[in-house]
Amino acid sequence: MNNEDEFYDAVTGLDSDESCEGTSEASFKDAVVYDSAQKNNGAVPQENGIKKHRSSLPAPMFSRNDFSVWSILKKCIGLELSKITMPIVFNEPLSFLQRISEYMEHTYLIQKACSQSDSIERMQTIAAFAVSAVASQWDRTGKPFNPLLGETYELTREDQGFRLISEQVSHHPPISAFHTESLTGDFVFHGSIYPKLKFWGKSVEAEPKGTITLELHKHKEAYTWTNPFCCVHNIILGKLWIEQYGTVEIVNHSTGEKCVLNFKPCGMFGKELHRVEGYIQDKSKKKRCVIYGKWTECMWSVDPQVYEAHRKFDKKGTTDTRKQKQEETESVNEDADEMPEMYNFTNFAMTLNELVPGMEGVLAPTDCRLRPDIRAMENGNIDEASREKERLEEKQRAARKERAKDGEEWSTRWFQLGTNPYTGSQDWIYSGGYFDRKYTDCPDIY
């Protein structure tokens, strides 16, 4: 590999400090830095922005050792897990809407793409961003809370230059829609997610449904892609570990360029554990560069001929390489699963449910931060969290029965069902108005 090869980081954020959450020393050189005037474009600071974010949760994670997931799941092989009630101890204290916002942990990569003049370089950076979106799932074996119908979540990060709004727009099937916009008007990032979860005996698989769209206004470009499959292994016995696999195609609808990324399945001996490999082609389908790396660590871009030469050399193998692969396999198959203190949250994830004095008067009454079962779990009260979860679910069922009796259809508040202008597929589109702070007609879900 020569010095001209570009390095893009997709780290988990576990080694980062408070000054650059989600980035490592290696990726710090790629970050785009704005002062406060640039980030807000001279506008009034966002009223729900937190200036100093917390670095830990109020209480450590609960032990799952006294609970048997097998006793719950053994009758559910092949079924969708969205219809199965799991004990709250298997959750993490975040709603799925908050989990979606972790796409934005590496916003600096979008900002870098906005600043690049070459479309292939922009595609490289967008590819790194797409991979970084799943990097935070490394060792995250807790299940986020299922959002209630009408639940919302907003996130404003002045330090990273964006604001986000998401809404649970459907309960059956569960669909979460989100819309993120740059505070300087540089980009819009949006999509709707419908994860289909299935239990296959020893593992739980999440099939990605829904399209992700990124629009770069300066370059008048739009990129779309879908996420890879995600699988949690050893849920009955042994060490839990997460695998991402499947093909992700990122399409630049303005230039016709495409990036194809193959998240490789682990395999019998862990040879391909966490590996991602792919390429970028131009509109004439000529391969311009090869992308490779690990979704838990980093991504590299290299000339196709250089990469092929490297592969031929690598096929010869070395003792060190075989030893490394053996160590990787052993790390996957360890017998015991250590209990992380903070659910293996990144610094970014640690801040998502943060609620400081004064925010209650600004947030919509449907915001996840105001949800009592998640708040109780975060504070270490598992019994109260279980009671509140049951109460909220019963309230949701009762409201659904009332609507059915009156012949009423559920009406979404901030998103409307429409058509993605770039793919032509059905999508949930943000209808605007959330940040006007007019919440008088929001549903009572808590």
Residue 171: other Cβ atoms inside 10 A: 17
Res 24: pLDDT: 35
Q: What span, in angstroms and rounded, lies between the C-alpha atoms of 289 and 349?
A: 33
Res 83: pLDDT: 57
Q: In sequence order, what are the beta bridge partners of 260?
A: 249, 279
Question: Who's near 405: CB < 8 A, 6+ residues apart?
Answer: none
> What is the set of domains in the chain, with CATH numbers?
82-250 (2.40.160)
107, 155 in Cβ contact below 8 A? no
What is the SS3 string spanning 3-34? CCCEEEECCCCCCCCHHHCCCCHHHHCCCCCC
Read off the tokens for 8: 């893009």
107, 162 in Cβ contact below 8 A? yes
Q: What span, in angstroms and rounded, lies between the C-alpha atoms of 205 and 201?
A: 10
179, 190 in Cβ contact below 8 A? yes
Res 262: pLDDT: 94
122, 72 in Cβ contact below 8 A? no
Strand-strand pairing, 143-145 and 91-95: parallel
Own/partner long-range contacts of 176-180 (Cβ < 8 Å, ≥24 apart): 176/96, 176/97, 176/100, 176/147, 177/415, 177/428, 177/430, 178/97, 178/100, 178/101, 178/103, 179/414, 179/415, 179/430, 180/103, 180/104
Own/partner long-range contacts of 435-438 (Cβ < 8 Å, ≥24 apart): 435/154, 435/163, 435/165, 437/362
Residue type, 436: D
Q: What span, in angstroms and rounded, lies between the C-alpha atoms of 443 and 68?
A: 36
204, 212 in Cβ contact below 8 A? no
- DSSP one-letter code for 302: E
Res 335: pLDDT: 45
What is the mean pLDDT for each group of 10 consecutive residues in the chain (446 residues)? 42 33 34 31 52 90 70 59 68 96 96 97 97 85 92 96 97 94 97 84 80 97 93 76 90 98 83 91 96 92 88 64 48 51 91 93 96 97 94 96 93 96 96 95 95
Residue 53, phi-psi category: left (phi > 0), alpha (psi -120 to 50), beta (remainder): beta
Res 280: pLDDT: 98
